[in-house]
Structure formats: C-alpha cells, structure tokens
Structure 1
Amino acid sequence: NHSSSTRERVLLLGFSDWPSLQPLLLVLVLLCYVLTLTGNSGLVLLAVRDPRLHAPMYYFLRHLAALDAAFATSVAPPLLAGLRGPAVLLPREGCLAQLCASLALGSAECVLLAAMALDRAAAVCRPLHHARLCSPRLCRALAAASWLGGLANSAAQTALFAARPLCAPLRLDHFICELPALLQLTCAGGRGGDSVERQMLAARVVVLLLPSAVILASYGAVGRVVCAMRSRGGRRKAVGTCGSHLTAVSLFYGSAIYTYLQPTHSYNQSRGKFVSLFYTVLTPALNPLIYTLRNKEVKGAARRLQKSLWGRRDRQ
C-alpha cells in the first residue's frame, strides 16, 4: 500500500459527506472571506494613514490584520471550490504548498498574539514607562520575530512531513491539507518514523504553549494590577484595553490547541474539519469587529478617513 509515485494526488473530501450543508457553508464561507478581506484591509489602511494610530498596540494590530487576511486567503479559495463539487483532487506538491502557507501564517499569529499581550501588560502595569518599554525598535523586532518564527516552524515541519512516505489510499476527510490530518496518511512504523513524529509534536507544543505561557503570565500581571486599583474608572479602562485582545486569543488558541496538540492516532478528521473551519475562516472575519466595536480611537480614525474621502469627492 506504500505510495511512491512522484505524481501522488491527495483527495480532499471536504464536506462532500454533508451535501445538504454545502450550500449553507458556501454562503457562510464566502461572506466570512469578504468580511475578512474588507475588515482587515480597512484596519491596515487606518493604522498606516492615521498618525493617532501609530502606537505600539495598533502597530501589532496592523500585522495581525495582514496575517488574518493572508491566512484566510490560503484556506478560503480552495474551500469555496470544494464546496461547489463533490471533492478536490490536489497533487502532493500543491498540498505541501498549502500546508506550508497555513502553518507559517498560523504560527506567526501565535507569536504575534503573545507580543500583543506583552504590550497590553506594559500599558496597564507600567503606563508611565510604556513608551520606553515598547519602543518602535522593539515593536519591529517582535513583529519580525513573529513572521520569521512562523516561516521557520513551517519550513521545518513541512520538510519533516515531506520526507515521510504516504500510504494509499490518499483520502483526507478534510477541506485543507492540515498537518494532524495529513499525518494519518503516513505509513505506520518505518525507520525513524516515530522519532520524526515526536519532533513534529514537540515543535507544535513549543509554538502553541510557549506563547500561551507568555500570554497567561502577562494577563496574570494585569489581573493583579487591576485587583489593586481602587478606581472603577481605572478598572474599566484596563479591561477595555485588554478585553479585545483576550477575546481574540480565546477564539484562536482554543481551536488551534484542540487541533494541533492531539496525538495523531486519536485525531478525528471529521470533527477536526469543523473545528478548523472555526479558526481558519470565522476567527479572521471576527477579529476586525472585535478590535473596532469597542475601540474609540479606531472608530474615530474611520470617521476621519471617511470625512477626508468625502471632502476630496466634493472638491472634485
């Protein structure tokens, strides 16, 4: 059953086993994708154009918005194509390319969310020193570390997986080439197979749990400061500063940890694809709403941009 052909193809079943659900999912995914592109592009535009949004928080938010738009683009188009038909047949190279892109962007988002937590902790715990602690140079270094760390993790994991032989039939009960599902296609046993799989699991643990520990430590410090505050106004301000980020972290990390930290033998592809749909399609669409609905500065920047555009149109 060992598949050694250089022209291996992986059959992505997607949601073909739920034919009555496909039209609804097609509309939902298309709507989320449009919202992801428009919302995150709008956030990037506002953060770049408006001088009042050049603070560290919005610098990181700009990168998060770019990551979300790119992450959704690596997933949504092939998913939409699959929802219009019974299944999608991908060459192994195409599957590896999708795996590499989604791993790089997802890993970068893990690290970036941890960097944002450090910024929020500095803003609440050391407000007078926040500008010095989160200098532009440090912010650029953290953002670069997020992107480069994501690329490094993706390159390592994709290379380790590509070296593993696959066993026929290459049928994936999923809508994307996601690592936990793909590992179930690798041939059992084999020389060094268990060692490689342990290395890949260790890398996933580091990428997910190390940033999680940073986030928990940051918000533990925030919680102690908030509990010591006597002013209700100060507490509300601190909660408002951190609330949006905590919501985004909960949505992303909850589903990602469930998907990537399970042992390969216990991963359920059918259930996993619905969980993956949540963090690959829904979360990137919700993030712009989470960060703008309760943020007066972003809403103010949007109004100023709208007035500027209307003013130019009237002058013309």
Structure 2
Amino acid sequence: MGHNLTSITEFLLLGFPVGPRIQMLLFGLFSPFYVFTLLGNGTILGLISLDSRLHTPMYFFLSHLAVVDIAYACNTVPQMLVNLLHPAKPISFAGCMTQTFLFSTFAVTECLLLVVMSYDRYVAICHPLRYLAIMTWRVCITLAATSWAPGVVLSLIHLVLLLPLPFCRPQKINHFFCEILAVLKLACADTHINENMVLAGAISGLVGPLSTIVVSYMCILCAILQIQSREGQRKAFSTCFSHLCVVGLFYGTAIIMYVGPRYGNPKEQKKYLLLFHSLFNPMLNPLIYSLRNSEVKNTLKRLLEVERALWRGLWHCD
C-alpha cells in the first residue's frame, strides 16, 4: 500500500465513453459553448463596471454571479476539452485536488448568491421605500462575503478529509473532471465519513437555500398581488423573472443529480447532468439576464452606439 500511495502522482479522467469521431464532434460542440460562456459573463461584468446606472445592489450581486459562472466553467471545461483531443492525457494529483476544491467552492457560493439575490428582490418589492436604507453598500458587501466564505470553508473540510486517504486502485476516474464522489471510489480506505460529509453538504446546500428562496418569493407574490395596476404587477414580476429562471436551472439540475435518475445507467446520466450544470448553466445565465433585462440591453445599445461613433470618427479622420 505504501508503494502504491507514494507512486500516485496523477489521475486519468475517462470522460465520455464514445468513439474518436464522437469525441471530435463533442469538442467542436463544447468549444464554442465555452467561449460563449466567457464572452457572455465577461460582457455582463463589463457593462456593470462601465455604466454607473448599473451600480446598484442587484447588479452588484449579478456581477458576483458572473464571476462564479466564469470560474465554474474555467475549472472543469478546459480539462474536459483537452481530454476529448487527447484521451490518455492525465491530470496531476495536485491539479485534481484543486479542481475538486474549486468546484465545491463555486457550487456552494452560487447556491448562497441566489439566496442573497432573492432577498434583494424581496426588499425591493416588499419594502420599496426602505430599499436604499436596508440594502446599503456595507450590507451588500457583507452578504457577498457571506456567500463566498461558507463555500471555501466547506470545501476545505472536504479537502482535509480527502488528502490523507490512500489511493491504491487504478487511477482512472469515471468522470470528465475530478468530482469528489468519483475520486472517493478510488480510495482503498473507509470513505464513509467523506461520503456523509458530501451528502450533508449537498442537503444543506440545496434544501436550506432553496427553502429560503421559496419563502422569499411567497412574500414577493403576496406583495405583487396587492399592487392595484396590471402594469405595476407586470413590472414587479419582470424584475424577478430572470432570477427565477436561473434558480430553476441551477437547483433543477442539482436536485436531479442527487435524487435521481433511477433507471438506465445513473452514473453516466448524472455525468451529463453535471456537464449541463458546469457548462450550459453558466452560458445561459447571462443570456437570461440580458434578454429579460431592459437596463442591461439599453446599456449594451448605448455602448455599441458610442463604439460605432468612435469608429466613424476615426474613419473620417483617415
């Protein structure tokens, strides 16, 4: 066992069990999705930083969500794309542990950020006259820090429990990234504590935050129904619709991963669900917010008009 333990310096990610042609097809399909994820979330960050009209609590939290989405994708997708081109290319032990730590951190952080964003919408709709007094910048920074800190702490706990484990089986991880449960299957020691901690973290990270979001939106719905005008109701609901879509995508895929599926090959199906969770969700989030949010669209139009005017000015100067 000692020999096996000291000789382990890397893991091999098995990825998706498909032929070379399908792997190239997947590479051609996932590469532009990854680029769109970076461009979309990068655009959201750029618009929020450049336009002072978007320097509000709602967009402050949205910028944090965009950072998490970029980090989410950058943590898992590049290695997956490399494995599609070079299936036998391993990942180092340190790289694998880092990937596991970061994925857990970003997952918990996004859970809590969605809760914070629902609270922001609750205050804006249920207490509009006191919104600026409640959602001060000090409160916003505290809420953002509170969203990041538990993810880091919980991931450190997982890492501390994972590092001492001896790995004496073939170092082949049946996944496209170092997902913690897939890594634990390679350990030749009792992993019940690790698995229970993962389960406890998943339950607390899903049930608690989702319950808080549901309660927030029940209060929001009651407040919207008390608005007399249809136009007022429509405007109030439109400010929440984007957030509800993102919550549905994130928690929907997360719950399915931990509750089911029950039939077929659950490991393979959950692998594809995690792919959706780590690639498509971060790509769709900026689209949802930009398409449903008039302020973001107007800011983008203004910046494009300014850029067009600058190009015209440069053209006439030449």
TM-score normalised to the size of structure 1? 0.90
Q: Which amino acid aligns with 2:49?
A: V
State the secondary structure of the residue aligned to 2:175: coil
Q: Give the conservation status (yes or no) of the 8 Å contact 1:205–1:261.
A: no
Among 281, 302, 306, the residue aligned to 2:304: 306
String of CA shifts for 1:213-241, please: whole Å, max 9, x gaps.
22111112112222333322122112211
Alpha-carbon distance between aligned partners in 2 of 1:252 and 1:87, rounded to the nearest angstrom: 32
- Could you tell me which residue of structure 1 aligns to residue 267 of structure 2? 269
The CA RMSD over aligned residues, in Å, is: 2.1
- Could you tell me which residue of structure 1 aligns to residue 239 of structure 2? 241
Alpha-carbon distance between aligned partners in 1 of 2:121 and 2:89, rounded to the nearest angstrom: 43
Mean alpha-carbon deviation: is it higher for 247-256 or for 9-18?
9-18
Q: Which runs of 5+ in 1 are unaligned?
A: none
Alpha-carbon distance between aligned partners in 1 of 2:310 and 2:234, rounded to the nearest angstrom: 38
Q: Which runs of 5+ in 2 are unaligned?
A: none
Residues 1-316 of structure 1: matches in 2 within 5 Å?
3-187=4-188, 189=190, 193-260=191-258, 268-316=266-314
Shift of 1:279: 0.8
State the secondary structure of the residue aligned to 1:11: strand
Alpha-carbon distance between aligned partners in 1 of 2:203 and 2:168, rounded to the nearest angstrom: 26
Shift of 1:306: 1.4
**Identity among equivalent pairs (%):** 38
Shift of 1:309: 2.2
Mean alpha-carbon deviation: is it higher for 297-306 or for 5-14?
5-14
Alpha-carbon distance between aligned partners in 1 of 2:39 and 2:169, rounded to the nearest angstrom: 41
State the secondary structure of the residue aligned to 1:105: helix
Mean alpha-carbon deviation: is it higher for 19-28 or for 94-103?
19-28
Q: Give the conservation status (yes or no) of the 8 Å contact 1:201–1:261.
A: no
Shift of 1:76: 1.4
Q: Which amino acid aligns with 2:34?
A: Y
Shift of 1:297: 0.5
Shift of 1:284: 0.6
Alpha-carbon distance between aligned partners in 2 of 1:253 and 1:231, rounded to the nearest angstrom: 32
Distance change >3 Å, CA 88–CA 216, structure 1 → 2: farther
State the secondary structure of the residue aligned to 1:5: helix
Distance change >3 Å, CA 127–CA 166, structure 1 → 2: same
Shift of 1:285: 0.7
Alpha-carbon distance between aligned partners in 2 of 1:186 and 1:205, rounded to the nearest angstrom: 24
String of CA shifts for 1:259-282, please: whole Å, max 9, x gaps.
3578xxxx9432221001101001
Q: Give the conservation status (yes or no) of the 8 Å contact 1:9–1:92.
A: yes
Shift of 1:183: 2.4
String of CA shifts for 1:155-194, please: whole Å, max 9, x gaps.
11122122222341222221000122222223353xxx42
Alpha-carbon distance between aligned partners in 2 of 1:217 and 1:166, rounded to the nearest angstrom: 44
String of CA shifts for 1:196-253, please: whole Å, max 9, x gaps.
4323322232223222122111112112222333322122112211111111111112
Alpha-carbon distance between aligned partners in 1 of 2:20 and 2:271, rounded to the nearest angstrom: 15
After superposing on structure 2, the runs of 4+ consecutive aligned residues of structure 1 that deviate more than 6 Å are: none
Alpha-carbon distance between aligned partners in 2 of 1:19 and 1:203, rounded to the nearest angstrom: 37
Shift of 1:6: 4.4
Q: Which amino acid aligns with 2:192?
A: D
Shift of 1:19: 4.2
Alpha-carbon distance between aligned partners in 2 of 1:55 and 1:109, rounded to the nearest angstrom: 19
Alpha-carbon distance between aligned partners in 2 of 1:239 and 1:173, rounded to the nearest angstrom: 43
Mean alpha-carbon deviation: is it higher for 51-60 or for 179-188?
179-188
State the secondary structure of the residue aligned to 1:166: coil
String of CA shifts for 1:265-310, please: whole Å, max 9, x gaps.
xx94322210011010011111111001021100111111112223
Distance change >3 Å, CA 87–CA 151, structure 1 → 2: same
Shift of 1:132: 1.6
Alignment length (residue pairs): 309
Q: Give the conservation status (yes or no) of the 8 Å contact 1:14–1:173.
A: yes
